[in-house]
């Protein structure tokens, strides 16, 4: 489960910023704890980082079957074209290339709509011909420029077949009904330890029958997985503990067999290993990109522990049972015994697959409900990413905060407490929120279908919002006083009702899970609190603002919605979840949308941000590696082209 930074709209600093194009900025992050690692730890991080980068092509292909051929075409042009690169048409082509690399394909990384080159098709064709790709490029140009071919990465159509209409490469030749029927025939409601059916496979039709093609060595994506395995085996030799070594080797076994029981065994061992400073994420993990919420996109991540910053999350982990026992949800849906909640603050070293170049700021895994219940979970808040955001925001000439906050009091409170309460809310969301609650016996983990991801993010966000206002946080020394939490509420409502609308194109709906979750919560509370004027819509100088009049009543609304969303998950009430999503999460007031976009555009800011990885360079003396150093990347495209050569696997 991921948490993404809710409002990164005002990031602008040359030290961090290395490129801007379209609606995107690209930055770099620092890794302050790297030099304190031992050589063995650095070597482990190096090999796990190589494994994280070697899965890149898998993610590209999962997002759309045309993505890799299109990328290979633009890579060839960028490498071979020796014509004039200063003309406007080539600069437009360059923007398309940068967008393609940023989104790992032809669809916007957030809206999931297909984007198109601004340069004419004929000019693109001339570039392909100059690069020696003219004869084979025609079909690709048709794909690139046609609005009818692969229009959306993940369809949310209320009328059509979302499997057929989605461009993601998880299904081929099958319908939504056929996929659901296939997996329903495999599920065993009496199994107390169910595997995540379909997590690591593509569903196709062969000879009229629906079958799975598993992503494993010797199967689909086998070439890429075999290279990942080689790096994992090297990493296992320098693991930080026997438990970590065993976890890595179980991951290798899983990649070789595709056996989801082995995947669960890996997750149990990985979850239980909490002592190592260097840790990782690697595999087919999150199902946000599947229209049916079952198939997982590949990702890799390497991070190191920030010991001092981890004290806060460790306090929360140690008190996990208290938070569970005092949750406002029905007692049937609470865990009687919370096990193994491990939380820490980390610094990212390498982002890979679905987490590159855009990265979450918090992660909680594994996703299996029964593993969480019986073995616990691991949660991380990614400190150096949030610090990069905050550091840049301080030097921004103009900010979304000052534009959309109602008054100076709200602005000053956010400047004083904003970074702190954002981190605490992320901690609560990841450390405790995703791991809280339990489903009733026999309820499938996929019972909520295509609404699962947005509702799960809403559940974790609501948990964090409810508890950030609890006096317990002051008692534990996590919050400095009893007023700081109000900043979290103001920021959340401001973002959910206003700021995040700046990211959505005119006439579009909200489709990304985290944005849907935030709008669901904010709009539901605004509507339910209307009689008491809990959140007031105000207009000043022709601009719309939302002001919280009763913070305590708002907390009560968060509690009520948390109780309902937990009930929906625990009972597998898909219809109730669907009603919540359709009523509050996706539709946008077109007049307000237009206003927000105009106000935001006037700030001259880019709404989306991502990162380049630092390069890990082995230091060699003679024939021996004696150290590993980090080198910053100066040019965004250079890293993309380097990765295209060095980590091309498909």
Spatial separation of the C-alpha atoms in residues 194 and 399, rounded to whole Å = 47
Stated pTM of the model = 0.85
Q: What is the pLDDT of residues 208-240, one digit of tens each?
A: 999 999 999 999 999 999 999 999 999 999 999
Q: Residues 472-483: pLDDT tens digits?
A: 999 999 999 999
**Coil, helix or strand for 543?**
strand
Q: What is the pLDDT of residue 396?
A: 57
Over the stretch 146-156, which tens digit does the pLDDT of each residue have?
A: 999 999 999 98
pLDDT tens track for 542-576: 999 999 999 999 999 999 999 999 999 999 999 99
The residue extents of the domains of the chain are 2-32+306-610, 67-105+115-149, 162-214
Here the tokens at position 381 are: 């808040």
In this predicted model, what pLDDT tens digit does every residue of 124-141 receive, in sequence order?
Answer: 999 999 999 988 899 999
E runs forming strands in 513-593: 535-540, 543-548
**For residues 488 and 493, what is the distance between their CA atoms, to the nearest angstrom?**
9
Mean pLDDT over 484-506 rounds to: 95
Q: Which of 613, 598, 492 is nearest to 554 (CA)?
A: 492
With beta carbons less than 8 A apart as the criterion, state whether 604 and 502 touch.
no
**What pLDDT does residue 604 have?**
83
pLDDT for residue 45 is more than 50: yes
Taking residues 391-399, what's their average pLDDT?
67
Confidence of residue 399 (pLDDT cuts 50, 70, 90): confident
Kindly provide the b/e burial profile for residues 20-48, where b requires at least 16 CB atoms within 10 angstroms of the residue's own CB.
Answer: bbebbbbbbbbbebbeebeeebbbbbbbb
> In the predicted model, what is the mean pLDDT of residues 597-615?
92
């Amino acid at each position: 489960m991921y948490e993404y930074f809710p409002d990164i709209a005002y990031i602008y600093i040359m030290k961090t910023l290395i490129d801007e194009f379209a609606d995107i900025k690209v930055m770099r992050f620092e890794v302050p704890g790297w030099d304190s690692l031992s050589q063995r730890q650095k070597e482990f991080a190096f090999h796990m980082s190589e494994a994280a980068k070697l899965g890149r092509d898998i993610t590209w292909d999962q997002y759309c079957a045309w993505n890799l051929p299109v990328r290979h075409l633009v890579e060839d042009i960028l490498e071979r074209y020796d014509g004039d690169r200063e003309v406007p048409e080539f600069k437009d082509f360059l923007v398309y290339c940068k967008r393609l690399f940023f989104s790992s394909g032809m669809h916007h990384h957030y809206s999931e709509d297909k984007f198109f080159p601004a340069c004419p098709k004929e000019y693109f064709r001339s570039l392909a011909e100059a690069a020696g790709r003219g004869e084979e490029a025609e079909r690709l140009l048709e794909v690139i420029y046609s609005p009818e071919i692969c229009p959306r990465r993940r369809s949310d159509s209320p009328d059509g077949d979302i499997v057929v209409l989605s461009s993601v490469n998880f299904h081929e030749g099958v319908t939504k009904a056929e996929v659901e029927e296939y997996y329903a025939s495999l599920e065993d409601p009496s199994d107390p330890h169910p595997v995540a059916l379909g997590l690591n496979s593509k569903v196709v039709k062969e000879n009229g029958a629906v079958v799975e093609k598993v992503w494993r060595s010797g199967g689909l994506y086998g070439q890429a997985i075999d290279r990942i395995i080689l790096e994992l085996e090297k990493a296992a030799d320098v693991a930080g503990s026997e438990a970590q070594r065993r976890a890595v080797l179980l991951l290798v076994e899983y990649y070789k067999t595709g056996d989801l029981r082995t995947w669960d065994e890996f997750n149990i061992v990985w979850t239980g290993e909490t002592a190592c400073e260097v840790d990782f994420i690697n595999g087919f993990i999150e199902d946000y990109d599947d229209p049916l919420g079952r198939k997982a996109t590949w990702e890799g991540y390497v991070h190191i522990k920030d010991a001092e910053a981890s004290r806060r999350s460790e306090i929360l982990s140690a008190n996990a049972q208290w938070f569970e026992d005092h949750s406002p949800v029905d007692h049937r849906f609470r865990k009687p015994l919370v096990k193994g909640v491990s939380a820490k603050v980390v610094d990212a070293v390498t982002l890979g697959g679905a987490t590159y170049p855009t990265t979450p700021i918090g992660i909680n895994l594994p996703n299996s409900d029964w593993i969480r219940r019986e073995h616990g979970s691991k949660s991380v808040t990614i400190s150096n990413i949030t610090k990069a955001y905050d550091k840049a925001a301080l030097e921004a000439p103009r900010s979304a905060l000052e534009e959309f906050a109602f008054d100076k009091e709200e602005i000053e409170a956010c400047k004083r407490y904003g970074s702190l309460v954002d981190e605490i809310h992320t901690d609560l969301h990841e450390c405790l929120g995703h791991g809280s609650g339990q489903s009733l016996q026999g309820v499938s983990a996929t019972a909520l279908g295509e609404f699962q991801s947005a509702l799960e993010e809403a559940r974790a966000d609501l948990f964090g919002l409810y508890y950030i206002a609890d006096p317990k946080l002051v008692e534990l020394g996590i919050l400095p006083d009893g007023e700081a939490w109000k900043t979290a509420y103001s920021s959340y409502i401001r973002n959910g009702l206003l700021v995040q609308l700046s990211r959505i194109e005119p006439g579009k709906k909200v489709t990304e899970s985290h944005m849907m979750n935030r709008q669901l919560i904010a709009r539901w509370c605004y509507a339910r609190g209307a009689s008491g004027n809990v959140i007031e819509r105000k207009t000043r100088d022709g601009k719309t603002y939302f002001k919280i009049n009763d913070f305590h009543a708002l907390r009560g609304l968060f509690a009520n919605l948390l109780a309902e969303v937990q009930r929906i998950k625990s009972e597998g009430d898909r219809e109730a979840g669907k009603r919540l999503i359709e009523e509050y999460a996706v539709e946008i007031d077109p007049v307000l949308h237009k206003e927000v976009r105009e106000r935001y555009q006037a700030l001259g800011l880019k709404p989306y941000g991502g990162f380049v990885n630092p390069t890990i360079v082995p230091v060699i003396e003679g024939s021996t590696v004696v150290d590993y150093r980090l080198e910053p990347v100066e040019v965004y495209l250079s890293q993309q082209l380097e990765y295209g050569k060095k980590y091309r696997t498909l």
